[in-house]
C-alpha cells in the first residue's frame, strides 16, 4: 500500500488560537504548517502598500498576478520580506476580512494553498479549510472559544507587539469579524459536518494540542484501514493470483515460475507480497500481519534490503519507527510477479462463465479468510 499524505485542517473564528495550536501540532507530528489566514493578511498588506483600496475589486484583481507569498520556517514572506509581525495589526485584520470576500482573491489563494499542501503531510489553518479548500481532508478540527476569551487573547498578543488597544475595542472588532465571516456569501465560516469541534475557552493550550493529536492519530488509522480494504477488493476483482500470499505462491508454481527463479525464499516472498498490498508498514505491523516471529522477520528484511528490493526509512508522521517501502527494483519485481499472476488468472478462468468466475472468487476469498483466521487462532494458543 502506497503511503498517503494526511491533511489536517483547523478552522475557527478570529482569536481562537488556531495559529498557536496549529504550529505546535505540526511541529509534534512532523508536518508542514500552513497558516492560510496569514496569506489573506499578506495579500491585504500587499494591496495597501501599493496604494490599492481593498474596496476596489477590479484593481485588486489586476494586481493579483504580482502577488509573491512564501512560507519558510513558520514565517510568511511577501516579495522576499518577512512580514509575520506586520500582518498582525488591527488595520490588517480589517483589510483581510474585506479582501477574503473577493472571489478572485479566494480563487488565487485556494489554488496556492492546494499546491503547497500537495503530496505532503500538512496542518492547515483558516476559516474554510475543511469545508471549501480541502473538503476531503481526513482530520478536520473546528477550534472556537467565547468572544470575551478571544478578545483577551488578541489583546495580550497586541500588547506584546506594542499595539496598546482597549479590550472593549478589540471585543467589538472580534464580534464584527465573526458576523462578517459567518454571513459572507463566499465560503462562510462554519464547522464541517465531519469536524471535531473543540471549545478552548476553559482549556489550556496543551490540553487542546493533546486532543487534536489523539484525533489525528485515530483518523490516520481509519484512513489506512479503509485503504487496505479497498486495495484488497481491487486485488480480488482484478487478479485472482494475488488474493493472498499463500495462493500467489501456489498459482506461480502452476506456470513453473518457482521462487528460486527470483532468488527468493518463502519468507521473503511473503514479506514482499504484503508490501505489494500495503507499502509503508513498520516492522511490528508486518510481524502482526504475517504472523512471523520478529527474529525471522528481521533477518528477512535484512536480506531484502541487501538485495536492493526494499528500504527502511522514517516518515514525518511517525519518527519513532522505521517504515518499509519498495525500491525501484522492488516495484519492477512487483510488476513482473503481477504479470505472472494475471497470466494464471487468464489461464484459470479461460472458458468459464461469468457466474462460475464469481463463484471461484468467492471460494478463494473464503479460503483466504480461513487461512487468516486459523493463523490468528494458532497465535492465540501459542501465547496462551
Closest CA to 143 of 156, 157, 129: 129
Q: How many Å apart are CA 196 and CA 260, to the nearest integer?
A: 52
192 Cβ contact partners less than 8 Å away, ≥ 6 residues apart? 9, 11, 130, 131, 135, 140, 142
- State how far the Cα of 377 lies from the Cα of 374, in Å rounded to an integer: 5
Mean pLDDT of 357-384: 59
Cα separation, 13 vs 9, in Å, equals 14
Residue whose C-alpha cell reads 507480497 in the numeric block:
273
Kindly report, residue by residue over 260-315, the tens digit of the pLDDT.
566 777 677 778 877 877 888 888 887 777 656 666 778 888 888 888 889 988 87
Q: What percent of the chain lies above the pLDDT cut of 70?
A: 74
The confidence score (pLDDT) of residue 280 equals 85
* Mean pLDDT in residue range 347-374: 60
pLDDT at 243: 40
Quote the pLDDT of residue 245.
Answer: 46
In degrees, rounded to 5, the angle at the alpha carbon of residue 41 between the alpha carbons of residues 197 and 39 is: 70
Q: What is the pLDDT of residue 266?
A: 66
Residue 322 φ/ψ, nearest 5 degrees: -85, 140
Across the chain, mean pLDDT equals 79
Query: What is the share, in percent, of the chain residues with pLDDT greater than 90?
Result: 32
* Residue 157 confidence class, pLDDT cut points 50, 70, 90: confident
- Give the chain's domains with CATH numbers: 7-218 (3.40.50.300), 239-383 (1.10.10.10)
Grid coordinates given for 22: 496549529
Q: Residue 145: is its pLDDT beyond 60?
A: yes
Whether the per-residue pLDDT at 255 is higher than 50: the answer is no
Residue of higher predicted confidence among 2 and 206: 206
CA distance 133 to 163: 32
Cβ-based neighbour number of residue 260 at 10 Å: 8
- What cell was used for 255? 506456470
Segment 88-116 shows an average pLDDT of 89
What is the DSSP secondary-structure string of 68-132? -EEEETTEEEETTEE-TTGGGSHHHHHHHHHHTT-HHHHHHHHHHHHHHHTTS-EEEEESSIIII
Residue range 133-147: mean pLDDT, rounded: 94
- Alpha-carbon distances of 4 from 182, 267, 279, rounded to whole Å: 33, 27, 10
Amino acid 180: pLDDT = 85
Torsion, CA 38, CA 43, CA 49, CA 51, rounded to 10: -150
Amino acid at each position: 500500500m502506497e503511503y498517503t499524505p494526511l491533511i489536517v485542517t483547523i478552522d475557527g473564528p478570529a482569536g481562537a488560537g488556531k495559529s498557536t495550536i496549529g504550529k505546535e501540532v505540526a511541529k509534534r507530528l512532523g508536518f508542514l504548517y500552513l497558516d492560510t489566514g496569514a496569506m489573506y493578511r499578506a495579500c491585504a498588506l500587499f494591496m495597501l502598500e501599493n496604494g490599492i483600496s481593498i474596496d476596489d475589486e477590479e484593481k485588486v484583481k489586476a494586481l493579483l498576478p504580482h502577488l509573491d507569498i512564501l512560507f519558510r520556517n513558520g514565517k510568511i514572506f511577501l516579495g522576499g520580506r518577512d512580514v509575520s509581525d506586520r500582518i498582525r495589526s488591527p488595520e490588517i485584520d480589517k483589510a483581510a476580512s474585506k479582501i477574503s470576500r473577493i472571489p478572485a482573491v479566494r480563487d488565487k489563494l485556494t489554488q496556492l494553498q492546494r499546491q503547497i499542501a500537495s503530496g505532503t503531510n500538512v496542518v492547515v489553518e483558516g476559516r474554510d479549510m475543511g469545508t471549501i479548500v480541502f473538503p476531503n481532508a481526513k482530520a478536520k478540527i473546528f477550534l472556537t472559544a467565547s468572544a470575551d476569551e478571544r478578545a483577551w487573547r488578541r489583546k495580550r498578543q497586541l500588547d506584546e507587539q506594542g499595539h496598546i488597544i482597549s479590550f472593549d475595542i478589540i471585543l467589538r472588532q472580534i464580534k464584527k469579524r465573526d458576523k462578517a465571516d459567518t454571513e459572507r456569501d463566499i465560503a462562510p465560516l462554519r464547522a464541517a459536518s465531519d469536524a471535531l469541534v473543540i471549545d478552548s475557552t476553559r482549556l489550556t493550550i496543551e490540553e487542546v494540542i493533546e486532543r487534536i493529536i489523539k484525533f489525528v492519530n485515530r483518523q490516520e488509522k481509519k484512513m489506512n484501514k479503509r485503504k487496505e480494504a479497498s486495495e484488497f477488493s481491487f486485488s480480488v476483482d482484478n487478479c485472482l493470483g494475488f488474493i493472498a500470499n499463500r495462493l500467489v505462491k501456489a498459482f506461480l508454481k502452476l506456470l513453473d515460475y518457482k521462487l528460486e527463479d527470483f532468488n527468493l525464499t518463502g519468507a521473503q516472498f511473503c514479506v514482499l507480497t504484503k508490501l505489494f498490498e500495503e507499502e509503508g508498514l513498520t516492522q511490528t505491523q508486518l510481524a502482526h500481519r504475517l504472523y512471523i516471529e520478529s527474529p525471522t522477520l528481521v533477518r528477512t528484511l535484512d536480506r531484502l534490503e541487501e538485495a536492493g528490493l526494499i528500504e527502511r526509512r522514517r516518515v514525518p508522521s511517525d519518527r519513532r519507527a522505521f517504515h518499509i517501502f519498495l525500491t525501484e527494483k522492488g516495484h519492477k519485481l512487483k510488476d513482473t510477479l503481477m504479470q505472472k499472476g494475471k497470466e494464471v488468472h487468464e489461464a484459470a478462468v479461460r472458458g468459464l462463465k461469468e457466474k462460475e468466475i464469481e463463484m471461484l472468487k468467492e471460494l478463494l476469498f473464503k479460503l483466504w479468510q480461513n487461512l487468516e483466521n486459523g493463523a490468528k487462532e494458532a497465535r492465540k494458543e501459542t501465547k496462551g
